[in-house]
Amino acid sequence: MSGESIRLRRLRRTSALRAMVNETALRPADLIMPIFVAAGADRCEPLASIPGVNLLAGASLAREAEAIARAGVPAVLLFGVLDDAGKDAAASQAVRPGNAVCEAIGRIRNQRPELTVIADLCLCEYTDHRHCGILREGRIDNDATVAVLAEAAVVLARAGADIIAPSGVMDGAVAALRRALDAAGMSHVALMPYSAKFASGFYGPFKAASQSTPQESHHATHQIQVGNIREALRKIAVDVAEGADMVIVKPALTSLDVLALARDTVPVPLAGYDVSGFHAMLARHCGTDEALRRELTREVLTCIRRAGAKMIITYSAKDIAPHL
Ligand code: PBG
Ligand code: ZN
């Protein structure tokens, strides 16, 4: 056919045609809303570093769960924020039944039983030195850390978590968590590790919000260096072999190539994490222009899905879901 008879604009002419040929739908069902939870009867404190996101406890947490479910978002991802007084070198709060995160899980379960509750699991929120694991001679001890994570996973599962999301990128964590959960009669609880988690400066606002910034970072010893896609794919494969039910790629926007490759080679559902640094940048760029923020958010999330993510973890989930 000659150049004049091939006209791609024919399928762009009406919104009905554009909808018919749309390849990448964005639906509320794909979204996961992160929330920061603390101990207490009622707390709702804006997190200065993550615009629009609050630290929640008690009645306010229940209200937020209600709002999230009403917006059509089916899942939440929980992060515990502890007072310094509760932190120690052994991360002992992480394995205490009834800790702040367990309490929060109960609240959400109670308020909206149909919400899928995903519990993030890393020791940086529980250690007084704020590293992501148990230290031995100043270094993160992989196996000692994994042992604590396995115990903590059972505590979270017993509190009602549907999915545990180990985020510290330790070796053998998925296998150990699977074994511990099964032994505790929790074989129905799924594992969603942060497998392709790159060492990134874009977690900055999150680290500030969760008060888990260590004095001297050891992240390069467990998170993946940003240039290494083969290593990221290998870690995904290892975690899947160990029993991961789903895997997270993060930060999503700087890992679209990883998502694109993983989509065709990884046999489990993929989640992309639209991280705090990008959320903060977008919020700053848009200021008070809500419509612009929605438009840009939709574009960003669509591109994360186009690259290969089935699910998207985003601080915008609750805001954008009713507009999809
Ligand atoms: C670890 C964890 C982090 C994030 C999610 N889980 C921080 C880190 O690993 O340093 C970052 C999320 C974000 O930046 O939005 N608990
Ligand atoms: Zn951590």
239 by Cβ neighbours in 10 Å (0-12 / 13-18 / 19+) ranks as: buried
* Mean pLDDT across 108-127: 97
Confidence of residue 265 (pLDDT cuts 50, 70, 90): very high
Catalytic residue among 87, 197, 207, 235: 197
* Residue 87 annotated in active site: no
**Structural domains of the chain, with CATH:** 25-323 (3.20.20.70)
> Looking at the predicted structure, is the pLDDT value of residue 273 above 90?
yes
**Which pLDDT belongs to residue 258?**
98
Atom of ligand 1 nearest to the CA of 279: 15
CA dihedral (138, 139, 144, 145) in degrees, to 10, reads 110
What angle do helix axes 58-70 and 100-111 make, rounded to 10 degrees? 50
- Which of 10-14, 29-33, 219-223 is the least confident region? 219-223
Measure the CA–CA gap between 65 and 77, rounded to whole angstroms.
Answer: 11
> What are the helix (H) ranges across 160-228?
173-183, 204-209
Catalytic residue among 207, 235, 250, 318: 250
For ligand 2, a single-atom ion, which residues have Cβ within 5 Å? 122, 124, 132, 168
**Which pLDDT belongs to residue 209?**
87
Atom of ligand 1 nearest to the CA of 274: 15
Local structure of residue 274 (DSSP, 8 states)? E
Q: Which ligand is nearest to the CA of 223?
A: 1
Q: Which residues line ligand 1 (CB under 6 A)?
A: 120, 122, 124, 167, 203, 206-207, 275-276
> Looking at the predicted structure, is the pLDDT value of residue 12 above 80?
yes
Which residue in 122, 128, 155, 120 sits closest to 222, CA to CA? Answer: 122
Question: Angle at CA 313, nearest 5°, toward 275 and 259?
Answer: 80
pLDDT, tens digit (0-9, with 9 covering 90-100), for 299-309: 999 999 999 99
pLDDT, tens digit (0-9, with 9 covering 90-100), for 69-90: 999 999 999 999 998 889 999 9
* Residue 318 annotated in active site: no
Region for 226 from its dihedrals, namely left if φ exceeds 0, alpha if ψ lies in -120 to 50, beta otherwise: alpha
- How far is the centre of ligand 1, averaged over its atoms, from the C-alpha of 207 (Å)? 7
